[in-house]
């Protein structure tokens, strides 16, 4: 049976923005969730970039897979390209995903382009907390993005210890005077 799935690991989990017929927890192997993207639009600006999630190579990532009606496939892809490829920091990929019920599907997702100037690489917990705390972009404050992601991960029973540590560091450090 021909199906179309989309894998979300960040804001797509709670705000997909497209109609879907099924939503399931899923795991993708070979990529990990990482605050590795300098956000110049959605959660920061060129002058004061934020950090948002990307799928970076290595490890595995639990997130949400959405099954989209085949009749909505083209519209959904157009929507996702407009949303995710605004600065071309992501590469569109189809990856194997395993759903919580054991099914194996192919899912469209967006992975970080490590050659792109917005790729932040591995940042320390302290650096990530400092950047995220003060950044605001078109889609709102960067700390709200991190908090929403953690909240939805908890609802799904998914732990992301590194992201939890970033959030804890944000709340324990004083705000920057460089606003």
Sign of CA dihedral 118, 88, 16, 69: negative
Ordered domains of the chain (ranges, CATH): 4-172 (3.10.490.10)
Residue-level pLDDT at 172: 78
Residue-level pLDDT at 27: 97
Q: Is 153 exposed, middle or buried (0-12, 13-18, 19+ CB in 10 A)?
A: buried
3-state helix, strand, coil in the chain (%, to 5): 30, 35, 35
Q: Is 46 a catalytic residue?
A: no
Mean pLDDT by 10 residues, the chain (179 residues): 91 93 97 95 93 95 97 98 92 97 98 96 94 95 94 93 95 55
Residue-level pLDDT at 1: 52
Which residue is catalytic, options 3, 46, 82, 84? 84
Residue-level pLDDT at 177: 43
Q: What are phi and psi of 23, to 5 degrees?
A: -130, 130
């Amino acid at each position: 049976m021909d199906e179309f799935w989309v894998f979300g690991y960040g804001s797509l989990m709670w705000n997909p923005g497209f109609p879907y017929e099924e939503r399931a927890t899923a795991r993708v192997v070979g990529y990990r969730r990482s605050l590795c993207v300098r956000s110049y639009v959605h959660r920061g600006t060129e002058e004061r970039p934020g950090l948002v999630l990307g799928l970076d190579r290595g490890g595995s990532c639990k997130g949400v897979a959405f099954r989209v009606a085949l009749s909505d496939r083209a519209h959904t892809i157009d929507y996702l390209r407009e949303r995710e490829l605004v600065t071309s920091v992501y590469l569109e990929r189809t990856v194997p995903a395993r759903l919580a019920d054991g099914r194996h599907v192919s899912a469209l997702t967006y992975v970080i382009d490590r050659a792109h100037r917005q790729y932040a690489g591995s940042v320390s917990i302290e650096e990530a907390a400092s950047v995220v705390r003060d950044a605001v972009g078109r889609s709102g404050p960067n700390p709200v993005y991190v908090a929403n992601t953690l909240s939805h991960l908890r609802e799904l029973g998914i732990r992301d210890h590194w992201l939890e540590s970033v959030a804890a560091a944000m709340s324990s450090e004083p705000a920057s005077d460089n606003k």
